Amino acid sequence: MTLHTRSLPALSALVILAACGGDPNSPGIEYMPDMYRSPAVEAYVDYGQDPYYFEDSAVVAQRNTQSARLPVAGTVPFSQDPAKAALNFPYPYPNTPEGYEQAGAELRAPLPMTEANVEQGKVIYEKFCVHCHGPKGEGDGSVVKNGGYPVPPSYTKADPPGLKSLPEGKIFHSLTYGKNVAMGSHASQLTKEERWLVTRYVQFLQNGGNMPGALPAETADTVATDQDTAAN
């Protein structure tokens, strides 16, 4: 039939244009796919795409190579800054109720309680803590209010389970390992230094949003205790 042969180009044009029209799963046409997707494993390479020119075995191998890796076992982040020497040491307290108590009793912040540190801590707090603990640490963040999340104890209440008198060692311990089921470990998101900065800001909130005028005795001799901790 002549009609069919005549409409074939039109039909195929329709199919091609419809195909280009926008399948959200397709990244479209690429000029040089091998420059977009190199055989070397790159961070967050897309496993879903065919690397075009490689043999099947290589494709399978690439798809099964995980680009997100753990740090090499036994390594710690290292800073050459002598002021941050204490941060180089591995965290000595285990993730147990005993470790929590011990950290509360012994562990002291290597960073002094200064306005600059509190200010830096605030920036981190407002990214990593505020959605649960609330802007003033009263446990009224958006996740709690809108998500029905377990209510974190308030930093400003002294009666249990209020955390007004929670010592800095316990704050840092909770940030490192998490606390209970509701708070997970934040060690993968925050470096030790950042965790200490947040700790300082939490202490600032415990004090009702004021700089502690007279520092508690244990924080005044920070440098000395710091060296003790390092020596341990």
Query: N- to C-terminal Cα distance for the chain?
Result: 92
Of 170, 186, 195, 200, the one binding another protein (CB under 8 A) is: 186
Q: From the list 8, 36, 53, 221, which residue makes contact with another protein (rule: CB under 8 A)?
A: 36
The tokens for 60 are 């399978």
Within residues 81-140, the interface with another protein by CB under 8 A covers 97, 126-128, 130-131, 139
**Euclidean distance between CA atoms 214 and 212, whole angstroms:** 6
Residue 199 has what DSSP assignment? H
Looking at 184, 208, 209, 216, which residue binds another protein (CB under 8 A)?
184
List residues bridging with 183 in a β-sheet: 179
From residue 183, how far is each of 164, 177, 186, 188 by CA, in Å? 18, 9, 9, 14
Q: Kindly report the length of the chain.
A: 232
The torsion angles phi and psi of 179, rounded to 5 degrees, stand at -140, 130
The binder of another protein chosen from 59, 85, 183, 215 (CB under 8 A) = 183
Window 44 to 73, contacts with another protein (CB under 8 A):
44-48, 66, 68
Q: Which of 8, 13, 158, 220 binds another protein (CB under 8 A)?
A: 13
Quick one: tokens of 191? 């470096």
DSSP, collapsed to helix, strand or coil, labels residue 171 as helix
Looking at the Cβ atoms of 21 and 90, the one nearer to another protein is: 21
Task: State which residue, 43 or 214, has the beta carbon closest to another protein.
Answer: 43
Compose the 189-228 pattern: x for residues touching another protein by CB under 8 A, - for all others: xx--------------------------------------
Q: Residue 43 or 231: which CB sits closer to another protein?
A: 43
Is the Cβ–Cβ distance between 106 and 169 less than 8 Å? yes
Least distance (Å) between residue 229 CB and another protein: 25
The residue within the footprint of another protein, chosen from 161, 208, 209, 216 (CB under 8 A), is 161
Integer Cα distance of 141 and 110 in angstroms:
29
Contact (CB, 8 A) for 32 and 52? no
Binding site for another protein (CB under 8 A): 2-3, 6-7, 10-11, 13-14, 17-18, 21-22, 24-32, 35-38, 43-48, 66, 68, 97, 126-128, 130-131, 139, 142-143, 145-153, 159-161, 178, 180-186, 188-190
